[in-house]
Structure 1
Amino acid sequence: MDGKSGGSNLPRITEKFEYDAAIGGNCRLDNEITTFQHCHRRMEEIKALTSAIANPSSTKLVFQKLPKHMRRRAMSHNPNRLPRKYRLAHRAQMSKSGAPAKTKRPSRKYRRKPANLLLEYQKRKRSNIWLETHIWHAKRFHMTTKWGYKLAESSCDKTFRSSYRATIKHCLIQDISHVGNIEIRGPLDILRNGFERMRGRGTSMELGICAKAYIGGQREGSIELFSIDSYPYGALGRFQFIWKRPSENDTQQTLWLFAHPSVYQQLVDELCKLFDLEVQDDVSSKSKKHQNVATTVELHEMKNHLNRFRLTGPLSHAILTAAFKPKVAPASDEHSWFSDYLGNEQNSFVHETHSNHWNKLEHIKSTAELPPGMILALNIEDPRINRPKKRTKAVPSIESLVQSVDEEACCTIPDFNGDSVIWDLNQRERIQNEKVSTHEICVQRNKNILVPGERCAFENKLQAVPVLLIQRPGSKNPKRLGYGGGYDVIIPPGYGISTWMCLIMWGAKPGALRETETISREALEDEFLPDTETAVINSNLTENELRKKYFRRPPNKRQNYLKHSIASPFKCPWPQLIQEWCTYSTNSKFYVLRDKNKLREIEQFLGGRSKTLTNIDENCLIPVSLAMNDRGNANKFSIICLPKKQDLRHNRTNRKQFINKPVLTEPLAIDQNETKRKLLRFHHLTTLKRLRRQRIRVKRKNQEYSEQKVIIAPPRTANLINSQYDRMCELWLPSAPKTIRQQCSREVFGYLTQCQFMFHEAKVAGIGYVTVNGIRKLSKSTGNQVLVRDSNSLNYRLATLACRCH
């Protein structure tokens, strides 16, 4: 509208103008266009485009002609990145320049294919042995390499407290299949006389390995074994064993010994030396065979032949009752090892007796109601068909809370309770070979199942699985009576992961090596006693790891143990400690006191009920337990010191005034090696610079007479640097301390081997070992009160000392 129209509503006809930036000026546009003329003009353009598409003459490739939003960087070497209709032309273009070289490794999707995974697993198993449950653990646990195995160390979740609750109120399961098995066969008299030499005659220890309580194959036993005729020195460790019940006319007895992998080979060597065994070629068996033709004693190494799971807690029996269902006798037309086994009338009677005995024990509330070490053999259904749909917590039924328990079944053990085909190697191999795969079970279940969730006829035809159930009584300490009790389950090879998954789904909480150490600490037991070869090897490995970790830190971030008066922060120097406390002997050999009578005598001496200690060797270490009286913390390698009377008076004064200060603070000592380290470092750096200047001079001299570029020679100072590193480590932490007993302001007479907050005590407590003369001196002055100091602290705290005699 024109502003000068005076408000008129008549439209004003104006010309349409458009500015052309390329040409400039005004341009008049037509108000209409003829369709025929427009198509005629566009026809030539359409012909040109069609000709260009049909006869391409440009140098662009197919993937370069795509719109920008469809282009990918990988299209140049991967045709599958292009749309399907362009792939053939792209391959034709790329073939002219030759096929591209495959420099990239196969994708993860390719590597994760089942066939490729199996090849990868077989390759990785060469260096370290895998258990059957390895893959399940590797997805959920931190794995570690120990004793030639790849084992689970701790859960990826925070399960420290929950694992303890499982051992107290529920059930904790651990795979201890790395514990090796040794089978020994021979006449009973020869075996008894031989093992007496390894046990120590005339000692007041537990029952021997050939005692009547174990020889019938009804119970599992535990015994400490030593090198031949070397008791009390040369301890090998503690071993579990079970006997196979002999037949009526059998003169040979069969014994299974279960040994920790760290001491397995050492035990085999001692047994071969004891019974004069020689290695024989055994082609039919996968295990090594040692034999003595004269005495008819045989030894078979059955390492990695069996699966062994450990269930700890009061609900262990409820979980096994839900998971293990005795196999019903198959139909007459079926052919399996179980049908052949039941073809014998005696075997059929044994199977029926085992099943009835297991059903009578269904309503017990805890494994503590069973005879200690009881062995029960079962032929159960395949664990894969007794697995719940979702994870369920198996608990004792309501009937078990109302009905009375069959006392006769709980207190008696049938004579043939341990009879099982799992003792036979050929039967174990047959069971493993005839096992139906899980894939086949799923396929048959989809074909034959009528009602979802119900059992089909095919599942009833699966072969039986023989297992051995071994009751574990737990701790014998009156304060922790029965703690750590449960079951050990021995399973044939091939059924490890199947049984493991079944027990997990019924509510068992998985644990690892960390839980084994926690259970032993809460039970006031040491897994490896200091005088065993296993403890020495593990101690040296731990010391090397901690020293390397310590020296990886810069000097200003390291704790100066010389100023803190700590002689051995990463190891317990037992030989030097014993030698400094002995009054008449200069021998550094020592052993741990295991005699129960003498340990009870020491317990009475510490409690004030006895005034003297007699007939106790000074070269022995006394196992003790400590509990912190008040505040304070301690860890592994903490020192146990003798307090003075003034320390106790100072502590009483602080407690009356409600002061939570430490009893004593160690004054900082003078580091006499500090100046030596600085001078050594200065001379070392000076030497390295001098050697570099020499190499530079040689390089420049050679460059003057050479037309090509001369490179400076390599330093070749590795030996010099290593020797410097060793000297500096020795000045920081001397490998041979001058004294252990007088290393600080209070006399040291022991070390802690394990210490942490204990749930049983509801305070910081631990276990350790002390010297005999140290206990004598302690009892004369302060009774059973000792000072404890961590290696990373200067503060001394009071603790109560007690002897571990259970």
Structure 2
Amino acid sequence: MANQFDAALGGSIQIPGHISTAVFAQARCQEIEALNNALEQAQKGGLIFQRLPKAMRRRVMSHHSKRMPRRLREAHTKQLEKNGVPPKTKCPSRKYRRRPQNLLLEYNRRQRNFIWLETHIWHAKRFHMTEKWGYKLARFPNAKTFRACYRASANHCLLQDISYYCCMEIKGPEIELIEGLKKHVSSAVGLTFGAQAFISGCKEGHTTFYYKDKFPFGAVGAVQFLWKAENGSSTEQRILWLWTHPSIYNEVKNCLIETFALGEEMLPEKLSEDVGSQFSMVEIKKLEAHCVLEAYPKYISSDNRICLILLKDKLNRFRLTGPLSHSILVDTLNVTSFAEKDKLFDIFETEDVEFLNSDSDFESPEDTIAQREDADVNDNKRISSDSEMWWKTYYRSNEVAQKAHFLQADFWRAIRGSYSASQFPPHQVVALTVLDPRYQLPSKRVKIVPDSKVPFQPERHTSLFKSISISPIWSSEVRMATCTSKLSQSEWEKHRAQKVLVPGISEGEINCAKTLNLEKSNGFEPSCIPILLVQRPGSQDSQQKRLGFSSGWDIIFPAGWAMPFWIALIFRGAKPGGLKEASMVQFETGSVTLTEPFAPDTAAGKTEAEANRREREQQHFRLPPNKRPNFIKFGIASPFSCCWDILLNDWCQNKHKDIDASFYVLREKVKLDALKCIINNSFKSGSNVNGGTRADQISHFSSLFSNMNHNCLIPVRIESVKRGCPADCALICIPSSDDILHSKENSAWEGPVEPIHNDNKSDQRKTLRNQHKKELRRLRKQRVLSNNKLKKQMDMLLEKGESISHLISLKKEKTPTKDFVDKHAEEMKLLWIPEPKTIKDSCSRTVVGFVCKGDFSFSEAHGVGLGYVPLPALVHLINTWTEKPLVLFRNPNSLQYYYAVLKIF
């Protein structure tokens, strides 16, 4: 038996019954210190990274020391530096990277190719943006379908920023301006620049602008115009504002320069050196990107009598559509009411208006632009000397403006109880000078509704429209002073924090704000803005739409004030919309409106149609072949565009073989009204035009259009009878006698079906596809060699530390087979969609027209299409109709025909 160690078991050693931890640790402190040193020091050939458990190791730790635990970071950094890895510098904070200087440079840099509106940042966060006509514009909102926007325009208020519309100012003697502009318009289309309804400046007019002496051909597009309210003498200098769509801006400008023989006079000096101290440099730089703070480009005639000033991007324009637009404007706009103690001018009674009808109270202008501008220089100096309070200087020196201001304030108070903008005269202009809309900004979004307690009493002001339209906004110096005296948003927030006229103040303070004494209070100076309100009447035909549908107001105000007005309107319940909403509201209105410049006989319309054709074609060929509709089998000759020239040639070649290739859209109101009477009333029992029979009506129609050029398009509107919804580029066809008979016998019959056509291009496509594959296999060696050569070049550049972005872009742009592949793609497109040779007889039903815009109409609760029909085709249709004007329409991607009723609009 072995000897025992413990004495209790027979051994010689006595073991104690307890042990002291401190004594035990002290006896082994050297061992513990040696163990710690072994752990802290890296083993030979090892890394600090390898001390971590495998579950904690990350690849990024090899070059980013801050990914390591804190106790190992210092050793790991030293190890990286020893291996030649440079230390990582600290990334700048987000606050540093987003400092205003960099944001401003980026803000201006990104506008080099496409101009941003002042509300761009707000829209970019909430809308899909698109690049159109030199601008970056909001296309449609992210969070709303069109149904919500339709409800807003029909029952509430839809808000759109249309500041991309371009304005031009024309100065000169009234007679000379009217005579020159008369060459570009026609009274047959409607009221023109010289109409008495517009010459006083009380209403905004609209017409179609043509090239010089080209009517009815050579249409440029629809324009809007507004005369400055003046004396009305035919010898005085007048000012005219001409608003155009940006797609026709250059054409209209060039026409005016040619007509009035104008020469360019550029004024490059900047006017931003004397801006107010309240205007921040950030906002100045933003406005300088739009050249707002620069002198306007001018074109002056040789005799110095006519002057054209370009105000593009110098004015903002918002559009409010819907019955609540007036209520929102009333709550947003607070008309300034100058206190008596300012002693700027006396308060006049609103009933005493005889001075407004007297010519002696208006200054008689000089004969030339130069003499007139000499007189304006003194007024401009007076305004610029106190630019932060321009309204005091302006109203002190202009007695007519003083009296007009009080009449405008009284008129605005009298119409506060209106329920809708449709209650006012069509296109009426109201001028106001309002306070900064940030004064009474609601703390959260609210819905403004008409106040039934406020009476609507505009009767005693109906004779004062001339004085109501007088505004200081016509002065360039006033617009500049208004822009530069604006309180910056940062300064505004400081005053808001101090509770100086902030949102949420008491009712007594609000009333005090409405009658604000325009003096500095605690270093705070309020701003006043001159604006113009232009009424839009909406629908005026009760047979097609309810009266006043899509009525509203347009607000015109100087640049620099877009965001304060925009936020103020949004917070009061206005729903924002984009280009799609504007197009759909126009479509719902069901008539040719002012906002449509894309008629098929204009250059802008042809450009837009070509852009839409390319977009639809690219979208079609992005699909695989088995997912594309075969338009050859469908019998659709032109699925992506409306080939008006081919259709017109089909209908006119039998009658006029030497007809001109150009065409025009019929816009003459007398002839369109005659067509409406014939089509809309001739099929009603007991309701004949001029009391004659249907034969007499057709004879009257034939005599009316016998001397017309048959190469013209008639604007039509089709409404589906049963089912079906017209799409863009849908065909308008003539129903056969069997189609009419079937529809009478079976009311549930939807319509005929197009038989499937023979695809005679399928064999050619198959042969071409096989040849293309063989050729690609033959050229495979060239592609491989090219890729290998490019890879070697990349490796060499990487070794030198140079950039390879150029080689990558070169590879994408140019390959040995790129030209060959592109050529094959173009050949295949022509085999899938051949060039159309005829449209009229391309399918089983005779084609008479196209639908330019078609969709489901929410206001009509059925499908509606707006399009055009050639005059010979319409004559043929009228002769074939017996009971009602029925036609057939068929969408490009369908074989089914649907019935529709045709109307003239």
Q: TM-score, normalised by structure 2?
A: 0.78
Are 1:222 and 2:212 matched, yes or no? Answer: no
Range with bigger deviation, 748-757 or 724-733: 724-733
Which residue of 2 is the match for residue 789 of structure 1? 890
Q: Secondary structure at the match of 1:444?
A: helix
Which residue of 1 is the match for residue 411 of structure 2? 357
d(CA) in 1 for partners of 2:41 and 2:633? 88
Select the residue among 192, 205, 228 that pairs with 1:244: 228
Select the residue among 356, 377, 389 that pairs with 1:336: 389
Q: Secondary structure at the match of 1:336?
A: helix
Which residue of 2 is the match for residue 772 of structure 1? 871
Select the residue among 301, 323, 327 that pairs with 1:318: 327
Are 1:670 and 2:758 matched, yes or no? Answer: yes
Contact 2:719 2:863 in 1 (8 A): yes
d(CA) in 2 for partners of 1:718 and 1:68? 50
Contact 1:218 1:413 in 2 (8 A): no
Are 1:468 and 2:520 matched, yes or no? Answer: no
Alignment of 1:134-153 (within 5 A): 134-153=120-139
Are 1:268 and 2:265 matched, yes or no? Answer: no
Q: TM-score, normalised by structure 1?
A: 0.87
Which residue of 2 is the match for residue 407 of structure 1? 459
d(CA) in 2 for partners of 1:635 and 1:699? 46
Which residue of 2 is the match for residue 727 of structure 1? 827
Per the alignment, do residues 772 and 50 of structure 1 end up closer, same or farther by CA in structure 2, a change over 3 Å counting? closer
Select the residue among 610, 630, 641 that pairs with 1:571: 641
Which residue of 1 is the match for residue 267 of structure 2? 282
C-alpha distance after superposition, 1:407-432 (max 9, x if no partner): 223x3343232322322222222222
Per the alignment, do residues 92 and 357 of structure 1 end up closer, same or farther by CA in structure 2, a change over 3 Å counting? farther
Q: Secondary structure at the match of 1:210?
A: coil
Which residue of 1 is the match for residue 481 of structure 2? 430
d(CA) in 1 for partners of 2:867 and 2:131? 27
Which residue of 1 is the match for residue 279 of structure 2? none
What is the RMSD of the two structures over their aligned residues, measured on CA atoms?
3.3
Contact 2:160 2:320 in 1 (8 A): yes
Range with bigger deviation, 593-602 or 82-91: 82-91
Per the alignment, do residues 324 and 79 of structure 1 end up closer, same or farther by CA in structure 2, a change over 3 Å counting? farther
d(CA) in 2 for partners of 1:596 and 1:556? 49
Q: Secondary structure at the match of 2:678?
A: helix
Which residue of 2 is the match for residue 598 of structure 1? 671
Contact 2:414 2:456 in 1 (8 A): no
Per the alignment, do residues 141 and 699 of structure 1 end up closer, same or farther by CA in structure 2, a change over 3 Å counting? closer
Select the residue among 685, 697, 704 that pairs with 1:615: 704
* Aligned AA (1:328): S
Contact 1:752 1:766 in 2 (8 A): yes
d(CA) in 1 for partners of 2:627 and 2:41? 75
Which residue of 1 is the match for residue 3 of structure 2? none
Which residue of 1 is the match for residue 581 of structure 2? 515
Select the residue among 457, 469, 477 that pairs with 2:541: 477
Q: Please, which runs of 5 or more residues in structure 2 have no aligned partner?
A: 1-5, 7-13, 270-293, 344-385, 514-520, 683-687, 689-696, 789-810
Per the alignment, do residues 697 and 301 of structure 1 end up closer, same or farther by CA in structure 2, a change over 3 Å counting? closer
Contact 1:317 1:366 in 2 (8 A): yes
Give, in angstroms, the shift of residue 282 of structure 1: 1.7
Q: Secondary structure at the match of 1:265?
A: helix
Q: Secondary structure at the match of 2:825?
A: helix
d(CA) in 2 for partners of 1:413 and 1:94? 84
Which residue of 2 is the match for residue 687 of structure 1? 775
Q: Please, which runs of 5 or more residues in structure 1 have no aligned partner?
A: 1-14, 16-27, 701-712
Select the residue among 776, 799, 806 that pairs with 2:900: 799
Per the alignment, do residues 460 and 325 of structure 1 end up closer, same or farther by CA in structure 2, a change over 3 Å counting? farther
Range with bigger deviation, 467-476 or 41-50: 41-50
Select the residue among 380, 383, 388 that pairs with 2:437: 383
Give, in angstroms, the shift of residue 313 of structure 1: 0.9
Give, in angstroms, the shift of residue 297 of structure 1: 1.0
C-alpha distance after superposition, 1:366-386 (max 9, x if no partner): 112212111112111111122
d(CA) in 2 for partners of 1:180 and 1:696? 54
Which residue of 1 is the match for residue 305 of structure 2? 296
Per the alignment, do residues 38 and 136 of structure 1 end up closer, same or farther by CA in structure 2, a change over 3 Å counting? same
Are 1:253 and 2:305 matched, yes or no? Answer: no
d(CA) in 1 for partners of 2:557 and 2:188? 35
d(CA) in 2 for partners of 1:84 and 1:452? 50
Are 1:305 and 2:314 matched, yes or no? Answer: yes
Which residue of 1 is the match for residue 373 of structure 2? none
Range with bigger deviation, 685-694 or 376-385: 685-694
Q: Secondary structure at the match of 1:571?
A: coil
Select the residue among 610, 622, 635 that pairs with 2:727: 635
Q: Secondary structure at the match of 1:173?
A: strand
Contact 2:416 2:456 in 1 (8 A): no
* Aligned AA (1:391): R
Contact 1:373 1:470 in 2 (8 A): yes
Are 1:539 and 2:628 matched, yes or no? Answer: no
Which residue of 2 is the match for residue 23 of structure 1? none
d(CA) in 1 for partners of 2:786 and 2:110? 48
C-alpha distance after superposition, 1:268-299 (max 9, x if no partner): 11111111112112234443221112252111
C-alpha distance after superposition, 1:532-570 (max 9, x if no partner): 211111001111111122222222222111111000011
d(CA) in 1 for partners of 2:256 and 2:735? 46
Are 1:716 and 2:789 matched, yes or no? Answer: no
Are 1:207 and 2:306 matched, yes or no? Answer: no
Select the residue among 152, 156, 159 that pairs with 2:145: 159
Seq. identity, %: 38
Contact 1:645 1:782 in 2 (8 A): no
Give, in angstroms, the shift of residue 475 of structure 1: 2.3
Range with bigger deviation, 181-190 or 596-605: 596-605
Range with bigger deviation, 92-101 or 54-63: 54-63
d(CA) in 1 for partners of 2:395 and 2:191? 36
Range with bigger deviation, 243-252 or 105-114: 105-114
Contact 1:664 1:797 in 2 (8 A): yes
* Aligned AA (2:704): N
Give, in angstroms, the shift of residue 82 of structure 1: 6.8
d(CA) in 2 for partners of 1:452 and 1:688? 71
Which residue of 1 is the match for residue 274 of structure 2? none
Q: Secondary structure at the match of 1:471?
A: strand
Give, in angstroms, the shift of residue 764 of structure 1: 1.0
d(CA) in 1 for partners of 2:196 and 2:232? 17
Range with bigger deviation, 66-75 or 279-288: 66-75
Per the alignment, do residues 51 and 205 of structure 1 end up closer, same or farther by CA in structure 2, a change over 3 Å counting? closer
* Aligned AA (2:104): L
Contact 1:152 1:513 in 2 (8 A): yes
Contact 1:444 1:458 in 2 (8 A): no
C-alpha distance after superposition, 1:198-253 (max 9, x if no partner): 113xx433211122221222111111111100000111111111111236998321
* Aligned AA (1:176): I
Per the alignment, do residues 116 and 83 of structure 1 end up closer, same or farther by CA in structure 2, a change over 3 Å counting? farther
d(CA) in 1 for partners of 2:577 and 2:166? 19
Q: Secondary structure at the match of 1:761?
A: coil
Which residue of 1 is the match for residue 379 of structure 2? none
C-alpha distance after superposition, 1:431-472 (max 9, x if no partner): 222221111111123235599832695597311111111111
d(CA) in 1 for partners of 2:66 and 2:337? 56
d(CA) in 2 for partners of 1:681 and 1:502? 61
Contact 1:374 1:413 in 2 (8 A): no
Give, in angstroms, the shift of residue 41 of structure 1: 2.5
Select the residue among 756, 764, 774 that pairs with 2:855: 756
d(CA) in 2 for partners of 1:623 and 1:730? 31
d(CA) in 2 for partners of 1:575 and 1:636? 18
Range with bigger deviation, 234-243 or 349-358: 349-358
* Aligned AA (2:576): P
Which residue of 2 is the match for residue 11 of structure 1? none
Give, in angstroms, the shift of residue 79 of structure 1: 6.0
C-alpha distance after superposition, 1:300-335 (max 9, x if no partner): 121111110000111111101101001232775996
d(CA) in 2 for partners of 1:280 and 1:204? 36
